[in-house]
A = this chain, B = another copy of it.
Amino acid sequence: MINNVLKSYNEKIERAVDLYLPNNESNYKILTEAMRYSLLLGGKRIRPALLLEFYKISGGKNDGALPFALAIELIHTYSLIHDDLPCMDNDDMRRGKPSNHKVFGEDIALLAGDGLLTLAFEVASKTKNISPERVVRAIGELSHFAGMNGMVGGQVIDLQSEGKKVDIKVIEELNLLKTGGLLRAAAKVGTILAGGDEKLIYAADRYGEATGLAFQIVDDILDITADSNILGKPVGSDEKNGKSTFVSHYGIERCRQIVDSLTESAINSLNEFDGDTTFLKELTLYLARREH
């Protein structure tokens, strides 16, 4: 079931990409190509799926939240392109394909990231049939969790922590901001757009926080335990890079327990909602147990 539903969300997102970012014959068409290249490399579309599901379980109608679902995927994609640049992680591969700058050059990759981040807010501003009050609040949350006090701040802590022994509190903050930022934004924005009350928005926030932290810990576990063919990237790179993680601090077994407890707490947050949370609960378990 999980895979079929995710597949249908993926199709929605790819149709939205064609709608908001069509190929064109402009004098800067290489930019569009570069933006589409990374967007269409695949990926599980977890963030749009969460956003659209929270919209649904909070009483949202139809595809009203679709522009924001695309927006959050645009932001996620820009962050991967900039992450892969030589001045950052210097990764040549992404999802088993050459990374953006290997195909288009560093300059175009940088601008493709800038273009994706900017397009996210343009697309979000085109939301129809949802009150502008909610749209403005949702833009505020999205930009907050994507920016300096969210994902970008987390990236900076990550850079500053490289090759150092880092306090577990700092690692937790890093994970909550870097990975958790957009997951929190997804859950909150979906709920806000549907008109959920403050209690629901708070529950969505708790869900995103727990799921985000669990997601990163699972990533760290997989970095050690996974088969590199399944993972799509070399195994053990955190250890090689001298990276402090939950796993290097607590060990794998304790980390699995932490993931279970975060997953339970995320699922409990879902009980606040009146809508059908079956899929979201399955998705939450799936994310905790994934093998890549």
A139 to B132, CA, bound (A): 11
Q: Indicate which residue in B21, B119, B120, B156 contacts A108 across the interface (CB closer than 8 Å).
A: B156
> Which A residues, 125 to 143, have Cβ-Cβ distances below 8 Å to chain B?
125-127, 131-133, 135-137, 139-140, 142-143
> For residue A144, which residue of chain B has the nearest CB?
B122
Contacts of A64 in B (CB 8 A): none
> Which A residues, 89 to 136, have Cβ-Cβ distances below 8 Å to chain B?
105-108, 110-111, 113-115, 117-122, 124-127, 131-133, 135-136
Among A144, A147, A148, max chain B CB count under 10 A is at A148
Contacts of A21 in B (CB 8 A): 148
| Nearest CB in chain B: distance from A68 CB, A | 12
> For residue A154, which residue of chain B has the nearest CB?
B28
Contact status B122-A110, CB under 8 Å: no
| Nearest CB in chain B: distance from A40 CB, A | 16
* A204 interfacial contact with B, CB 8 Å: no
Contact status B136-A110, CB under 8 Å: no
- Given A85-B110, A110-B87, are A28 and B118 also a contact pair (CB < 8 Å)? no
Q: Indicate which residue in B119, B152, B174 contacts A111 across the interface (CB closer than 8 Å).
A: B152
Interface 9-mer from A9-17, A29-37, A209-217: A29-37
Contacts of A78 in B (CB 8 A): 114
| Nearest CB in chain B: distance from A39 CB, A | 12
Contacts of A139 in B (CB 8 A): 121, 124-125, 136, 139
| Nearest CB in chain B: distance from A73 CB, A | 16
A122 to B106, CA, bound (A): 28
A106 to B160, CA, bound (A): 13
> For residue A87, which residue of chain B has the nearest CB?
B106
A172 to B146, CA, bound (A): 34
Contact status A117-B119, CB under 8 Å: no
Q: Indicate which residue in B119, B147, B156 contacts A30 across the interface (CB closer than 8 Å).
A: B156
| Nearest CB in chain B: distance from A176 CB, A | 11
* A275 interfacial contact with B, CB 8 Å: no
| Nearest CB in chain B: distance from A253 CB, A | 28
> For residue A27, which residue of chain B has the nearest CB?
B157
Contact status A110-B82, CB under 8 Å: yes
Seed contacts A111-B155, A115-B152, A118-B152; 4 additional CB < 8 Å A-B pairs: A28-B148, A115-B148, A117-B117, A127-B136
